[in-house]
Chain A
């Protein structure tokens, strides 16, 4: 077995990377209504963000406006915490490797910072995204939590090396039995490997050392990383003899999973997969750090999920429509409602392309009789807690990251636009400057492709748009004017 990556990467990656640029300025956000998701809404409120974090939230008359702060917003806006996407497999070139068990993979190498997906996240107001490998695997690689901004993965990263993907849904070419077999073998192989290491260390420490030197390994650096510990459900006798750094990169992440360093995201396609997933994570002693990523059919196993007490992320349609095989009757089940009734903590996900917008999903849940707070929590607070970011994102509170959406109305209304997105105190999206949005709405040809008619150049409003776009950065006035026009047009159109 060869060593694949320098261990130093691990150390570097474990540190949470801060947002690199624009930390100094203070930002004040004013809104006619602030939905804090941490108590009652604030009418006529003001949010102060300093150094990327919220330093004050309250009524405009109670919160002091720092003299040097940039002010955005106004009474027409509704401020809302940025949505949190608890689990997605997008923004990558490809979601899975062919290899069944590949915990050594790191999604960092796969994320495409300029993927259209991240741009779209801003448009929908998603400010925190947990990107994990796809479900077409047995054991996938490690994912990461990112913000949808930045030109490099490092700029995007909030929590690198976060979470490990497992799947009990049969991957392509596998039956359910072979999938389970492969999943059990993954952990069995790890144990055999560790036992082999210990045996080698015990039997012939000198030989192992010589071989390591022959391979060019830095034994001192390996020793400096401490000792391998092993999981809670099972122990390998004598594992403490093995320096952590001596572990092969192929196996190390799986051991780290057992040690509780990663959250396990287990994908389940059917209710039976839920049963299997819980059986596996119980056997490996990682139930407490498990999140189930379930498809709509899995609600049938809600009792098992509730009994295990694990949180779930609901991927796929919210409404499950099935035909009873005996009576032939069609039965509709609104899945979030079932999860809520069983007391399961759940987050909604934008993975299903039909229901991409978190706001839409929350609105759908409310339409099916869920309480407004519970529905909104499922796209903000709960996913934040599932990602261990409960103190950072998910609500507008003092001390949390300054991730704020300014919406043109109630965030759940279909006629509402996300007008501004602020991530950690930085204005990263303005709809007035969103060229693609404009093209979509107005059917304008992309820049430079529409042949300008010279005769009408002065009066043609479309031409003016293009001009305004070009000048938007330099001349703020022109942009504002354009925005006003947009809003007028929007009212005429009657919304999206």
Chain B
């Protein structure tokens, strides 16, 4: 597993190195080493062989070896597309219009060379995106012999090496397209008294027989280039050029549509002994046997043009309507067939359509790879995967003839010529997508799709269904089962052992960082969301936040903060039980009432027509907006009420920035705090590594202490936590910390807003210049909230006064609105009833935590609580029941009450699936257990708008399993958090 993932990481390397730029001459000749390309399935096409888990070894643009047991040289660069990818030879388009130009004035002009018109400086992105690496160049259309065709590679070097065949065929037609050749007229220059203007001489053909006559005369002319009559008929150069081409065994490739035209051509070729290739051949089905007997190969062009209006083909009885079974009939008869579409981009699609008439998939694949290569005479270089041939590969995300398969990468001459990644850089909708196809897709809320598919894009689930759309270039992952990431409904991962008891208004987000190795390990066991709360609570309760420990980016880290308020009902003095909670609820009710009144007043209030706002204030607002913009994404989800809160925050920020302006010694803005990014150059051929440094200035002063962290895969596999200081005088930064490769020392110098750093790891020194991409350290910024006195800006007269924001009551207000949860720790049956009643009175359905005696009051509390987090004892043995064990989880769920699994531990959360499996083993329904770990946990904690199910719009936290979920024998194969795969280290 890890080897495969490493390979995927290395895919980036050839991209960066070998991207064909739009110009700048040929890329530097690569004196590069071995490259090993791997995929789950490799179609060699040669002899119809298909290999599984094989490797293609490439060097100097040629295939060195193909096979499952290829010995890799130690310095080989491994590019692994994974077990679900399929590699076929680079496709060969037997027709293209890249060199298509005006036809000659003559009916036959072999001197018109398609190669002349092929622009090697053009980037043929369209064909490459369709997996096509070689193409036949059509010189012109609509002539008996329009010119000399060539075969070229569509990427790679810009010299003769790219020409596979300069004279692939004499391209022409005898069907209707060739019958509109205008009369030939050579105007004398200048026209004088004794040289008249002359007239246009009609040219053959106008009929099939005329075409055959003209072809015969042309062959005669080739035999005797000086024949005066024929020279005057066909031009002085035609005979010589034809003779030369025929001597070089260049075949005649002639388009014929009807069976009659095909028969005429077959007879002509047999009689005159010229090599013939049938082009277009719409009506070849009826004469398949004759074609096969004559041994004439056919380039079948699909009689349907995608991206074009439909064509009427005639209403008569005998009108020739296209049939797509021609290739199948030809192959059945034993003829050689190549299939082409109207555009190389759609070649794969053309092959799929051609299989309609019963063409075997292997034959269809051959008809767009090896067969055209043989017919065009370039099979010694392209068309199949064999040692010695060019390393032209088409990497697909599924079976080549499956309807939703698309191209993952196109290789030409051992280098990546196209991938969808670069193509997607600007368009967010076209960004790299992942499709997961499984036999069993557990949505999380009890629904199961068999089979099921899932489309992930931009970190969210876009589609769920039996068959979903496959965007071009999507990575396709296939497996047995998938389910939503699991939720630890009450855990401590992220506290790092801390036993501090913070106030209920403490923002837990401030102590959280994007995932380190431990977080990723937990996620790879299936726990993607943790509902975090401190280990112990004060009398007034504790804050609760929901987050994703393994998220790579800060913006995906938090799910909800605060997600809930945690209170304790029980008191050692039983009489005092619940007093605290009741008091808080009463306060919260008043508090909420104030806000409701304020909102009602605001709704009625009409702002007076005020003069233009003071310019200074405007500026401040802008600054605040800019700051707000950075955190806005995380806050988008919040409802209207919280918007009000945001307004309040804005004002605070306003005043803060104002205050800063007032103080002369603080004129210089904080030069260090923020997110710094750069690409760290790596020794070739590896791609530059991303380096992200988050730094925060602890306090101002001459030399200020700095803390922060750094993520850079090239320096350390884990997140490096840094401490150090910033010298304001010298403007230098000195940091040190421990990474996976040992002690990391980082020195930096601030110059013109950029930070030039040197990092010393493991005796090696790395250099990079960092740029600050975000000025405010989003999380760190929050901790300062409320530390400064706010200075209310001037309000217009008559505007309702906003109530004071109370961080301690705010979660309760949100719980009353249903956008947060209230977790109450309560054990005894009597207390449970009291607690539920008190909460319901305040408009809250509480989440009960502990609830040891809940089984006694099941019916009383059903429907009145959001859910229950039972204690960690799954099976309760009670003396009076003998061996009749009780499973509280099952009891509660059977009574219609949601349950979820609390881990009450940090990385111990990985045991939750086992606990669930154990509960199932003791009688809990497997579906219910799955719900408890996913959808029910999310629903009771009011985070079901983000996580908990596999539904469109939700975060893409997905697990791929190798068996039924919660089966003890099942393990998590792969995990995604916010659409990004969690990689193991």
Residues of chain A touching chain B, judged by Cβ–Cβ distance below 8 Å, are 2, 4, 99, 173-181, 185, 188, 192, 250, 270-272, 275-276, 299-304, 322, 324-329, 331, 333
A99/B22 in contact, CB under 8 A? no
B117/A176 in contact, CB under 8 A? yes
The residue that A303 contacts in the complex, of B26, B99, B418, B426, with Cβ under 8 A, is B26
A331/B113 in contact, CB under 8 A? no
- Also in contact, A328 and B104, with CB within 8 A (given A276-B116, A300-B24, A301-B121): no
- Also in contact, A175 and B189, with CB within 8 A (given A270-B121, A302-B25, A327-B422): no
A270 to B22, CA, bound (A): 13
Within 8 A of A (CB), among B190-205: 190, 192, 194-195
B114/A177 in contact, CB under 8 A? yes
Question: Closest residue of chain A to B24, judged by CB?
Answer: A300
Interface flag for B643 (CB, 8 Å): no
A375 to B857, CA, bound (A): 93
Known pairs A176-B117, A178-B104, A180-B116 / 11 extra A-B pairs, C-beta < 8 Å: A177-B139, A178-B102, A192-B236, A272-B121, A300-B22, A300-B121, A301-B121, A303-B25, A303-B26, A304-B25, A326-B125
B140/A272 in contact, CB under 8 A? no
The residue that A173 contacts in the complex, of B102, B112, B120, B423, with Cβ under 8 A, is B102
Interface flag for B123 (CB, 8 Å): yes
Query: A residues within 8 A CB of B119?
Result: 176, 270-272
Query: B residues within 8 A CB of A271?
Result: 23, 119, 121
- Also in contact, A181 and B125, with CB within 8 A (given A300-B25, A327-B422): no
* Interchain residue pairs A-B with the least CB separation, the first 8: A175-B101, A300-B23, A303-B25, A177-B117, A180-B116, A176-B117, A271-B121, A326-B125
- Also in contact, A176 and B116, with CB within 8 A (given A99-B189, A181-B111, A329-B425): yes
Contact pattern, B 219-257, Cβ under 8 Å of A = 1, otherwise 0:
000000000000000001100000000000000000000
The residue that B113 contacts in the complex, of A180, A250, A272, A322, with Cβ under 8 A, is A180
Query: A residues within 8 A CB of B418?
Result: 326
Interface flag for B473 (CB, 8 Å): no
Query: A residues within 8 A CB of B21?
Result: 324
- Per DSSP, chain B at the interface is loop
- Also in contact, A181 and B113, with CB within 8 A (given A270-B119, A270-B121): yes
Q: List 6 A-B contacts (CB under 8 A).
A: A176-B119, A177-B140, A181-B111, A181-B116, A326-B125, A333-B23
B22/A322 in contact, CB under 8 A? yes
The residue that B425 contacts in the complex, of A173, A175, A328, A333, with Cβ under 8 A, is A328
B125/A325 in contact, CB under 8 A? yes
A325 to B863, CA, bound (A): 60
B123/A326 in contact, CB under 8 A? yes
Query: A residues within 8 A CB of B189?
Result: 99, 250
A178/B425 in contact, CB under 8 A? no
A414 to B13, CA, bound (A): 49
B-side interface residues, number (CB < 8 Å): 41
Select the residue from B121, B125, B237 with max chain A CB neighbours within 10 A: B121
A175/B121 in contact, CB under 8 A? no
Select the residue from A178, A275, A299, A304 with max chain B CB neighbours within 10 A: A178
Interface flag for B147 (CB, 8 Å): yes
Query: B residues within 8 A CB of A176?
Result: 99, 101, 116-117, 119
Query: A residues within 8 A CB of B25?
Result: 300-304
A272 to B194, CA, bound (A): 42
- Also in contact, A2 and B116, with CB within 8 A (given A272-B121, A328-B425): no
Within 8 A of A (CB), among B5-27: 20-26
Question: Closest residue of chain B to A272, judged by CB?
Answer: B119
- Also in contact, A272 and B120, with CB within 8 A (given A177-B99, A299-B23, A322-B22): yes
Q: What distance in Å separates the Cβ of A444 from its nearest Cβ neighbour in chain B?
A: 46
Q: What distance in Å separates the Cβ of A9 from its nearest Cβ neighbour in chain B?
A: 17
Query: B residues within 8 A CB of A303?
Result: 25-26
A2 to B236, CA, bound (A): 21
Q: What distance in Å separates the Cβ of A104 from its nearest Cβ neighbour in chain B?
A: 9
Select the residue from A271, A302, A333 with max chain B CB neighbours within 10 A: A271
Within 8 A of A (CB), among B466-520: none
- Also in contact, A177 and B22, with CB within 8 A (given A272-B119, A327-B422, A328-B425): no
Query: A residues within 8 A CB of B20?
Result: 326
Query: A residues within 8 A CB of B236?
Result: 192
Contact pattern, B 99-134, Cβ under 8 Å of A = 1, otherwise 0:
101101000010111101111110101001000000
A327/B425 in contact, CB under 8 A? yes
B101/A324 in contact, CB under 8 A? no
A185 to B112, CA, bound (A): 11
Q: What distance in Å separates the Cβ of B417 from its nearest Cβ neighbour in chain A?
A: 9
A177/B116 in contact, CB under 8 A? yes
Query: B residues within 8 A CB of A304?
Result: 25
Q: What distance in Å separates the Cβ of A179 from its nearest Cβ neighbour in chain B?
A: 8
Contact pattern, B 11-46, Cβ under 8 Å of A = 1, otherwise 0:
000000000111111100000000000000000000
A276 to B117, CA, bound (A): 10
A178 to B143, CA, bound (A): 14
Question: Closest residue of chain B to A4, judged by CB?
Answer: B190
The residue that B237 contacts in the complex, of A177, A178, A185, A302, with Cβ under 8 A, is A185
A177/B112 in contact, CB under 8 A? yes
B121/A327 in contact, CB under 8 A? no
Query: B residues within 8 A CB of A181?
Result: 104, 109, 111-113, 116
B123/A325 in contact, CB under 8 A? yes
The residue that B423 contacts in the complex, of A180, A272, A327, with Cβ under 8 A, is A327
Query: A residues within 8 A CB of B192?
Result: 2
Query: A residues within 8 A CB of B427?
Result: 328
- Also in contact, A177 and B422, with CB within 8 A (given A301-B121, A302-B25, A324-B22): no
Query: A residues within 8 A CB of B26?
Result: 303
A178/B101 in contact, CB under 8 A? yes
Query: B residues within 8 A CB of A179?
Result: 116
Query: A residues within 8 A CB of B422?
Result: 326-327
A180 to B111, CA, bound (A): 10
Select the residue from A179, A181, A192, A275 with max chain B CB neighbours within 10 A: A181
Query: A residues within 8 A CB of B22?
Result: 300, 322, 324-325, 331
Query: B residues within 8 A CB of A188?
Result: 237
Select the residue from A173, A176, A185, A188 with max chain B CB neighbours within 10 A: A176
Query: A residues within 8 A CB of B128?
Result: 326
Q: What distance in Å separates the Cβ of A335 from its nearest Cβ neighbour in chain B?
A: 11
A192 to B121, CA, bound (A): 34
Query: A residues within 8 A CB of B109?
Result: 181
A59 to B418, CA, bound (A): 64
Query: A residues within 8 A CB of B140?
Result: 175, 177
Q: What distance in Å separates the Cβ of B429 from its nearest Cβ neighbour in chain A?
A: 13
Question: Closest residue of chain A to B422, judged by CB?
Answer: A327
A179 to B118, CA, bound (A): 13
A33 to B113, CA, bound (A): 58
Question: Closest residue of chain A to B147, judged by CB?
Answer: A177
Contact pattern, B 146-177, Cβ under 8 Å of A = 1, otherwise 0:
01000000000000000000000000000000
Q: What distance in Å separates the Cβ of A215 from its nearest Cβ neighbour in chain B?
A: 10
